[in-house]
A and B are shown apart, each in its own frame.
Chain A
Amino acid sequence: MMQGLGTIVVQVLRFLLYVLVHMLIVSRLPSLFGVGWCFFYVGFLLFLPIATPIVALLVLSFATGFAMDLFYDTGGVHAAAAVLLGYLRPWVLRLLTPRDGYDAQDSVNIHQMGWQWYLVYTALLLVLHHTVFFFLELGSLRVVGLTLLKILVSTLFTGITLLIVQLVFFPARRRR
C-alpha cells in the first residue's frame, strides 16, 4: 500500500518535471530547419513503468497532452496523439517481449533492456505519435511531403533528446 502511494507520488513529480522542462526550456528551442520539433513531454509517457495499468496510462496520456494543448492553444491535438500513444504502448511492449517475458524489475531503461530493444520501442511509438499529431494538426492531406518530413525530423529530434535523457539520468546498474 505504502509502495503504491510512493509510486503515485514519484509519477506525479515526474509528470510535473517533464511538463515544466518542456514548457520552460524545450518549447523555446528553435525548430530544426523549420520542420523539426522536440516533443520532450512524450518521454514521460514512454518511460512509465512497464506494468502501468492501461486505464492509468490512458488518463496520464490525456492529462499530459491536455496540459500541452493549454499552453500551445491547440485544442486537443496533443491530447488525441498522446492518448493514442498511451493505447498503443502496451501493444508495442507486447510485440517486443523478451523471450522469457518481462521481469518484475524491468523498466524502460536502455541499460537494462539493451539498445536494440530501446531503439525499436522509441522509434515505433514516436513515429506513430508524430504521424497522428502532424496529420491532425494539418486537418487535411494537402502538403503530405512536408508533413512526412516534419514527422521524420521531429522523430529524430525527440528520439535523440530522449536518448540523452536515458543515458544521463537512468541508472546503469541492473538491480537484480
Chain B
Amino acid sequence: MRNLLTFLFRYRGILVFVLLEIVSLVLLIRNSAYQRAAFFNSANAYTGRVLEVRTQIYDYFRLVDVNKALVTENAQLRQQLYHSELSSRMPDSLAMPGDSTGTRLKADSLMLGLRLLPSRPTEYPLIPARVINQSLRRVDNYLTLNVGSAQGVQPGMGVLTTAGVVGRVRQVSEHYATVTSLLHSKTTISAKLKRDGTFGTIRWLGDDPTHASLDYIPRQNVLVRGDTVVTSGYNAIFPEGVMIGTVDRFTKEPDKNFWTVQVHLAVNFSNLSYVYVIGPQPRAAERDTLETRSGMRPAAAAKGEEEQP
C-alpha cells in the first residue's frame, strides 16, 4: 500500500498529465461528432451571457458598418415592396376571388437568397437572430445566435441571410443557439445548378472562407462560369431554390467521373450580423396529395408554391 502511494506520488506529474490529456481529447472527439449533444459549448448560459456583453460593447464600434448593411437591406426591401404594390395594382379592376374589399391580402414575405419566403407561415417559423459570436478561419467554424428554445429554435433548423445559406442550428439553450457554419469540415448541403437542375453536394474544403466545392456533377454535363448554385430541397432543412453561390472555377481531373467545381459563396461570412433561422419544411408533397384527393382544393392549385424553381 505504501509502495503504491509512493509510486503514485513519484509519478504524479505524468499521471495527472495523461489523465487531463485524455479528458481533453474525449471532449474534442465528442465535440467533433456532428450534431452530437454536448453540454460544454458557447450556448451555455454563462458563456452566452459573457459573449452577449462583449457583442454589446463591440457593437458601438461597428455601428457604421451595421448601419450601412441595414440601409442596403432597407433599400432592397423597399424595392420589393414597390414591386408587389405594382403587381397588386394591375389586377385591381378584376374581381379577386374571396376578397370583397378589392385590396389584395398578401402574406408578408422576405427575400432570402433569391427566394421569397413567407415570414409568418403557420407551418414553419422564420426567426430573426443576431450573431453574437463567430469564427471564420478555423477548420470547423461555428456561430452563436441570441435566440434559443424560448423563441422556437430547435436543433437541425437551417440558418439563412438575405444573401443565402449560412448553416444549421447545432445546439439550443433557452436564449442562445450554436450554429454549425457552412464553413465546417462535416457540413454537406444538397445543391443543384439553377440553370439545368443538376444535383450535387456542397462541401467546404477547410481553407478559403469565400469558396466551397460542389461535388458529384457528372463530367458530361456542361458547366458555365457564373452558374447559380441553389439548394435542392431534397433535405427538408432549406426550402428549394435558396442561393448558395456561383460557379467560379471548374476542372476535369483525369481519374474522376465528376467535375471538380469551386463555388464562390454568396454569403460573406466575414461580416455576418443578422440572420434568419428557418424551421423544417412542411411535408408539402404528402399534404398536397391528401388535400387534392379530399377535394379541399383543385388539382391545378395543388402544385403549390413549393415547386416553383
Interface residues of A in 19-78 (CB under 8 A from B): 23-24, 28, 31, 34-35, 54-55, 58-59, 61-62, 65-66, 69-77
Q: A66-B40, A136-B28 are in contact. List 17 more A-B contacts (CB 8 A).
A: A23-B50, A23-B54, A31-B137, A54-B16, A55-B13, A59-B16, A62-B24, A69-B27, A71-B51, A75-B40, A76-B28, A77-B28, A79-B27, A90-B13, A137-B138, A137-B140, A142-B206
User: Are B25 and A34 neighbours in the complex by a CB distance under 8 Å?
Assistant: no
User: Are B50 and A87 neighbours in the complex by a CB distance under 8 Å?
Assistant: no
User: Are A73 and B142 neighbours in the complex by a CB distance under 8 Å?
Assistant: yes
Q: Which B residues are CB-close (under 8 A) to A90?
A: 13
Select from chain B the residue with minimum beta-carbon distance to A34: B137
27 pairs, CB–CB < 8 Å, chain A vs chain B: A23-B50, A23-B54, A24-B57, A55-B16, A59-B16, A61-B20, A70-B42, A70-B44, A71-B42, A71-B50, A71-B133, A72-B135, A73-B31, A73-B178, A74-B28, A74-B138, A75-B30, A75-B31, A75-B40, A76-B25, A83-B17, A87-B14, A137-B138, A137-B139, A138-B139, A139-B185, A143-B207
Q: Which A residues are CB-close (under 8 A) to B142?
A: 73
Select from chain A the residue with minimum beta-carbon distance to B135: A72
Cα-based distance from A62 to B20 in the complex (angstroms): 7
User: Are A58 and B54 neighbours in the complex by a CB distance under 8 Å?
Assistant: no
Select from chain A the residue with minimum beta-carbon distance to B209: A34
**Interface: B88 (CB within 8 A):** no
**Interface: A163 (CB within 8 A):** no
Cα-based distance from A121 to B38 in the complex (angstroms): 37
B20 to chain A, nearest CB (A): 5
B208 to chain A, nearest CB (A): 9
User: Are A80 and B28 neighbours in the complex by a CB distance under 8 Å?
Assistant: yes
Q: Which A residues are CB-close (under 8 A) to B135?
A: 72-73
Binding site for A on B (CB under 8 A): 12-14, 16-17, 20-21, 23-32, 38, 40-42, 44, 47, 50-51, 54, 57-58, 133, 135, 137-140, 142, 144, 178, 185, 206-207
A58, A59, A72, A75, most chain B CB atoms within 10 A: A75
Cα-based distance from A59 to B20 in the complex (angstroms): 8
The 10 closest A-B pairs by CB, nearest first: A75-B31, A76-B27, A80-B24, A76-B24, A76-B28, A79-B24, A54-B13, A75-B28, A87-B17, A83-B20
Binding site for B on A (CB under 8 A): 23-24, 28, 31, 34-35, 54-55, 58-59, 61-62, 65-66, 69-77, 79-80, 83-84, 86-87, 90, 136-139, 142-143, 146
Cα-based distance from A23 to B29 in the complex (angstroms): 24
B185 to chain A, nearest CB (A): 8
User: Are B31 and A58 neighbours in the complex by a CB distance under 8 Å?
Assistant: no
Cα-based distance from A72 to B28 in the complex (angstroms): 12
Q: Which B residues are CB-close (under 8 A) to A142?
A: 206
User: Are A58 and B17 neighbours in the complex by a CB distance under 8 Å?
Assistant: yes
Cα-based distance from A116 to B91 in the complex (angstroms): 83
- Checking A70, A77, A83, A146 against B40 with a beta-carbon cut-off of 8 angstroms, the contacting residue is A70
Select from chain B the residue with minimum beta-carbon distance to A150: B137
Select from chain B the residue with minimum beta-carbon distance to A56: B16
